[in-house]
Amino acid sequence: MVQVLLEERARRIRRTILRLAATSVGCHLGGSLSMVELLVVLLGRVMKFRPEEPRWEERDSLILSKGHAAAGLYAALAEFGFFDTEELVQRYNADGSPFTGHVNAAVPGVEFPTGSLGHGVGLGVGLAMGYRLRQRSNRVFVVCGDGEMGEGSNWEALQIAAQHRLSGLTVLVDRNGGQNDGPTEAILSQASLVERLRAFGLKTFEVDGHDLDALGRALEEPSEEPRAIVARTQKGAGVPMFRGKGPHYATFNADQLRRALASLGEVTP
């Protein structure tokens, strides 16, 4: 029963992402759609948080290291009650609004401004170390892109996570296989990502990143070590017309939005 609800949430989040792609500025579409199940499982099944009190001391933290997928995170935060979806769609890129194209910590539910890549793991390690020092058990989740794993600072921080055995930390890699300039494998291959994470000392899972149950199990399995989840995903997932190869960035016109929503299974006016 819960599963169905989460699937419905994922569909609604995708609908919002497509609507954001149809604004004048568009959005990082492919990488927003690819991580929807990751966010749905985290926010809908695993994480403790209070949308009405975003800075609640007991909350678990979500850091979107791939901060260019702002549309995806904003849409998910709206779905889980941090703010209203219509407000998001109305104010996305409006003058004076906090909804910038890379995630902005002025938006409720966003812990850190990111999108300059290679910061999220370090920030997450810092949160995990800080919580441990305060003898708190808040969990910390960092969502990275696979292209982003080219950033050396991520690997600096992963070494430290392992050295300090930060079991409260989970790094999820949205392995959608694409980055700004093309296929990740053609540019800087991440084929050995799982082996490397394992060799760095992280308890590493490789799962279908669109399988809510598989993601949930990987996130809930007890671990004494920091955890990495390599989530195999598709850019543009959930919108069949993209055939798993959605655009990295898109600005839709009204007709494109109509077709995309139809492909998602929406009946539009």
Partner 1 sequence: MTGSTTSSGADLLTSPQDWLREQPGLANRQVFRHALARLADVEPRIVLLEADLAGGGDPFAARHPGRFFNLGICEAAMLDIACGMAATGHVVFAHTFAPFGAMRACEQVRLGLAYARANVKLVCDYGGLSGAFFGPTHHAIEDLAILRAMPGMTVVSPADGLETIQATRALLEMEGPVYLRLGRNRVTRLEVARPAFALGRAMCLREGGDVGIIAHGEVGVSVALDVATRLEAQGVSARVVNLHTLKPFDEEAILETAERTRLLVTVEEHSILGGLGGAVCESVATHGVGRRVVRAGIQDRYDSTAGTHEALLQRHGLEASALVESILNALPRPRLAAMAPGARRG
- Output the smallest distance, CB 168 to partner 1, in A: 11
Distance of closest approach, residue 147 Cβ to partner 1, in angstroms: 18
| HEC profile of 51-108 | CCCCCCCCCCEEEECCCCCHHHHHHHHHHCCCCCHHHHHHHCCCCCCCCCCCCCCCCC
Q: Are 236 and 244 in contact (CB under 8 A)?
A: yes
Give yes or no for residue 260 binding partner 1 (CB under 8 A).
no
| Contact region with partner 1 (CB under 8 A), list: 126-134, 182-190, 237-245, 247-255 | 126-134
> With contact defined as beta carbons under 8 Å apart, do 107 and 78 qualify?
no
- How many CB atoms neighbour CB 52 within 10 A? 9
Examine residue 268 and tell whether it contacts partner 1 (CB under 8 A).
Answer: no
Secondary structure (3-state) at 235: strand
- 170 scored as a contact of partner 1 (CB under 8 A): no
CB of 151 vs partner 1, minimal distance in Å: 9
x/- string (CB under 8 A) for partner 1, residues 185-214? Answer: ------------------------------
What gap in Å lies between CA 229 and CA 35, rounded to an integer? 12
Note the residues at the interface with partner 1 (CB under 8 A): 105, 111-114, 116, 118-119, 121-131, 133-134, 136, 152-153, 156-157, 159-160, 163
